[in-house]
């Protein structure tokens, strides 16, 4: 859907490029995660893809056509969910959505969307009476009002309680099941694990790693199995090589003769990969 | 221009909800109060003066207020990723501003017609207010582009008032009489605005009307081009860069 080749971008006031020769692809129907600490160029990349920044070098193709050749009608096809509030605060949720809906040729059923995110009962409240989480959910609905083909989501579950975060994630999965493509930017690695088909880790304006979460875990993880078992009153822990597990007599003996407390394969987490690849804690 | 009407209606709705139209009505009633308290029975000559203040300074201010609300609330970002053209956006804002100025004009005119004597060419006055309000709304865009916050916009507006509005007012009420000063005033757009408003009362020479009309039309087109061109730069800045 998007093909990015040798993308470079420099802000007018900066000395060096914020984006340094980045290439990647977002395939149709996938959820693609763009990850990395603040200031590495994630937002800039997203702004280029949504045509807010145009004076870049390199090539960005959308549906095999130069992104620069698209006019404002490009926005008929995309939905952008910002992290910060983006609504008229002295209008109700319904008034906001009605206004924005009229700008698009295709419209989603906003009552249904409001019900799904749990805001239907509050639809006639002024947005300035909304909590942070309610505003975030309204942002998500705003991104979907034109039945977009591609969704750009920036921290869509930030500030949401677990129940509402779950709802939003389910809606993203449904969007994908119906053929939609998603570019997700987030610091929450649980969301990435749950939603993303492929992820790109950005560091210092470059893409440091790009692959499926599973492949990245295999690449960066240890191929070991860790077993905790009871030995009298004590709990002992030992680890075995995953690749030779079936031939490992000690492992077979422990499993057969001991009372197992826990048994885990030592896959790494995306949090660990984030720190390893970018050198920064993910919750910064 | 497919979304112009949606944006225009949205502007009017927000001007109402954010009490900007309300504030505009308060100003209109203030002018009505001035008309009411004046001892003059025929208000034709002071009528252009009141509309002058409304169509110039209020137009600049109202564009600034609505745009700063959009910046502050982030709704500008939402507009930037909507299928709307910058010319549609600029014209919708300007159009809503003109409507507000025309409401003030009609309120004042209705009062004057009912309670005082007035002898003006209403259609000409409407056209003059549209042109003056259009130009000053565009000026509101330019000042907003270059103002970091609302206070800075107010400061810029104060400077404009001192340099361009007050001298014309002083000339209109007869406090500036020197010939060279009067000639100098022809160089500024507010003098052309005042001349066009005065023309509705019929006290202006034809050459002055033509000159003022051409001047305002040309300068409006020039400022419109600047507003459209600088919009992208402004939008880039407002998108968080």
- DSSP assignment of A225-247 equals EEEEEEETTEEEEEEEEGGGGGG
Q: What is the pLDDT of residues B118-164, one digit of tens each?
A: 999 999 999 999 999 999 999 999 999 999 888 999 999 999 999 99
> Do A118 and A257 reside in the same domain of the chain?
no
* Cα–Cα dist A39/B236, whole Å: 17
Same domain, A152 and A47: yes
| Partner residue opposite B82 with nearest CB, options A85, A89, A103 | A103
Q: What are phi and psi of B174, to 5 degrees?
A: 90, 15
Confidence of residue B241 (pLDDT cuts 50, 70, 90): very low
Residue B239, pLDDT above cutoff 80: no
State whether A128 and A258 are in the same domain: no
Alpha carbon A257 to chain centroid distance? 44
Helix (H) or strand (E) holding A151: strand A150-154
Residues A27 and A106 in one domain: yes
Count Cβ neighbours within 10 Å for each residue of B75-97 and write b for 16 or more, e otherwise: bbbbbbbbbbbbebbbbbbbbbb
d(CA A251, CA B117): 106
DSSP state of A258: S
- DSSP assignment letter at A126: B
- For residue A89, the domain's CATH number is 3.40.50.300
Q: Decide if A188 is inside a domain.
A: yes
Is the domain of A232 the same as that of A212?
Answer: no
Residue B235 vs residue A6, higher pLDDT? A6
- Closest-CA distance, A146 to chain B, in angstroms, reads 10
| In a domain? residue A279 | no
Task: Clarify whether residues A261 and A182 are in a common domain.
Answer: no
Q: Which has more confidence, A29 or B239? A: A29
* A195, A250: one domain: no
Please give the pLDDT value at position B39.
Answer: 81
* Mean of per-residue pLDDT scores for chain A: 91
- If asked whether residues A163 and A118 sit together in one domain, one would say yes
Kindly tell me if the per-residue pLDDT of A21 is higher than 70: yes
Provide the pLDDT confidence category of residue A284 given band limits of 50, 70 and 90. very low
Angstroms from B154 CA to nearest CA on chain A: 23
As a dihedral over the C-alpha atoms of residue B204, residue B208, residue B211, residue B212, rounded to 10 degrees, the angle is -40
Over residues A61-87, the mean pLDDT reads 93
Percent of chain B with pLDDT strictly greater than 90: 64
> A55: pLDDT confidence band, cut at 50, 70 and 90?
confident
| Euclidean distance between CA atoms A283 and A271, whole angstroms | 9
Q: How confident is the model at residue A277 (pLDDT cuts 50, 70, 90)?
A: confident
| A257: three-class secondary structure by DSSP | helix
Question: Which residue in this structure is represented by tokens 């003769």?
Answer: A257
Which pLDDT value is given to residue B111? 92
Distance CA(B69)–CA(B155), nearest Å, equals 18
Q: Which helix (H) or strand (E) covers residue A35, if one does? A: strand A31-35
Is the model's pLDDT at B33 over the cut of 50? yes
pLDDT at B48 over 80: yes
Say what percent of chain A tops pLDDT 70. Answer: 98
A271: in domain? no
Domain range for A230: 222-266
Closest CA to A167 of A121, A117, A123: A117
* pLDDT number for residue B56: 93
DSSP secondary structure code for residue B19 in this structure = T
Does residue A18 lie within any of the structural domains?
yes
* Domain identity same for A128 and A241: no
Q: Is the pLDDT of residue A22 over 50?
A: yes
Q: Looking at beta carbons, which residues of chain A come within 8 Å of B6?
A: 99, 102-103
Q: A83 with A151, same domain?
A: yes
Chain B nearest-CA distance from A147, in A, is 13
Of B74, B80, B81, the CB nearest to A84: B74
Same domain, A227 and A208: no
The model's pLDDT over A110-147, given as tens digits with 9 standing for 90+, comes to 999 999 999 999 999 999 999 999 999 999 999 999 99
Strand order in the sheet with A206-211: A78-81, A150-154, A181-185, A31-35, A198-203, A206-211
Number of domains in chain A: 2
pLDDT for position A83: 86
Q: Where do the domains of chain B lie?
A: 4-238
Residue B74 has its nearest CB partner, among A11, A78, A85, at A85
**Yes or no, beta carbons of B239 and A47 under 8 Å apart:** yes
Whether the pLDDT of residue B226 is over 90: the answer is yes
**Average pLDDT of the residues of chain B:** 91
Answer whether residue A275 is part of any domain: no
Residue with tokens 């003996």: A253
What is the structure's pLDDT at B24?
87
Indicate if A176 and A232 belong to the same structural domain: no
Residue B1 — very low, low, confident or very high, per pLDDT cuts 50/70/90?
A: low
ipTM: 0.88
Q: Do the beta carbons of residue A137 and residue A119 sit within 8 Å?
A: yes
Q: Give the whole-angstrom CA distance, residue A190 versus residue A118.
A: 22
Express each pLDDT in B184-201 by its tens digit: 888 999 999 999 999 998
pLDDT recorded at residue B240: 62
**pLDDT score recorded for residue A41:** 87
Q: From A55, which residue of chain B is nearest by alpha-carbon distance? A: B236
pLDDT in tens, A37-47: 888 888 889 99
Tens of pLDDT, residues A216-267: 888 887 788 889 999 888 899 998 988 888 889 999 999 999 899 999 887 7
> Quick check: A281 pLDDT over 70?
no
Q: What angle do CA B78, B79, B85 make, to 5 degrees?
A: 150
Average pLDDT, stretch B6-28? 92
Q: What angle do CA B10, B14, B18 make, to 5 degrees?
A: 175
């Amino acid at each position: 859907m998007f093909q990015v080749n040798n993308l470079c971008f420099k802000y007018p006031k900066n000395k060096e490029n914020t984006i340094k020769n980045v290439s990647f692809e977002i395939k149709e129907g996938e959820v693609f995660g763009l990850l990395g600490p603040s200031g590495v160029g994630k937002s800039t990349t997203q702004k280029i893809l949504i045509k807010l920044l145009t004076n870049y070098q390199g090539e960005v193709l959308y549906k095999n056509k130069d992104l620069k050749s698209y006019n404002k009608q490009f926005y008929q096809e995309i939905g952008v969910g910002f992290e910060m509030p983006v609504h008229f605060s002295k209008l109700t949720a319904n008034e906001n959505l009605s206004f924005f809906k009229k700008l698009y040729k295709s419209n989603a059923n906003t009552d249904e969307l409001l019900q799904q995110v749990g805001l239907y009962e509050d639809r006639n409240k002024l947005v300035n009476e909304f909590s942070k989480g309610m505003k975030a959910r309204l942002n998500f609905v705003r991104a979907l009002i034109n039945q977009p083909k591609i969704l750009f989501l920036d921290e869509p579950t930030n500030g949401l309680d677990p129940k509402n975060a779950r709802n939003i994630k389910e809606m993203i999965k449904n969007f994908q099941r119906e053929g939609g493509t998603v570019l997700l930017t987030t610091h929450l690695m649980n969301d990435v694990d749950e939603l993303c088909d492929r992820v790109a880790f950005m560091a210092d304006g470059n893409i440091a790693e790009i692959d499926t979460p599973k492949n990245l875990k295999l690449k960066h993880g240890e191929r070991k199995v860790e077993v905790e078992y009871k030995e009298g009153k004590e709990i002992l822990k030992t680890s075995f090589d995953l690749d030779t597990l079936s031939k490992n007599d000690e492992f077979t003996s422990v499993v057969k003769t001991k009372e197992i407390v826990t048994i885990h394969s030592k896959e790494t987490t995306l949090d660990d990969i984030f720190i390893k690849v970018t050198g920064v804690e993910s919750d910064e | 221009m497919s979304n112009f009407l949606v944006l225009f209606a949205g502007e009017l709705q927000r001007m109402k909800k954010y009490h900007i139209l309300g504030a505009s009505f308060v100003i209109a009633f203030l002018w009505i109060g001035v008309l009411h308290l004046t001892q003059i029975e025929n208000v034709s000559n002071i009528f252009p003066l009141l509309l002058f203040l409304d169509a110039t300074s209020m137009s600049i201010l109202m564009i600034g207020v609505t745009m700063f609300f959009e910046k502050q609330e982030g709704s500008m970002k939402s507009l930037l990723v909507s299928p709307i053209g910058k010319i549609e956006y600029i014209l919708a804002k300007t159009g809503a501003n003109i409507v507000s100025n025309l409401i003030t004009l009609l309120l004042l005119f209705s009062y004057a017609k009912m309670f005082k004597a007035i002898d003006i060419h209403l259609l000409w006055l409407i056209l003059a207010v549209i042109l003056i309000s259009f130009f000053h709304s565009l000026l509101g865009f330019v000042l907003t582009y270059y103002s970091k916050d609302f206070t800075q916009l107010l400061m810029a507006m104060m400077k404009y008032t001192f340099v361009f509005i007050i001298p014309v007012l002083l000339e209109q009420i007869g406090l500036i009489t020197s010939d060279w000063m009067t000639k100098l005033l022809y160089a500024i757009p507010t003098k052309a605005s005042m001349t066009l408003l005065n023309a509705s009362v019929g006290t202006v020479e034809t050459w002055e009307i033509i000159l003022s009309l051409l001047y305002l039309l040309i300068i409006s087109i020039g400022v419109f081009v600047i507003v459209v061109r600088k919009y992208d730069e402004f939008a880039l800045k407002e998108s968080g860069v």
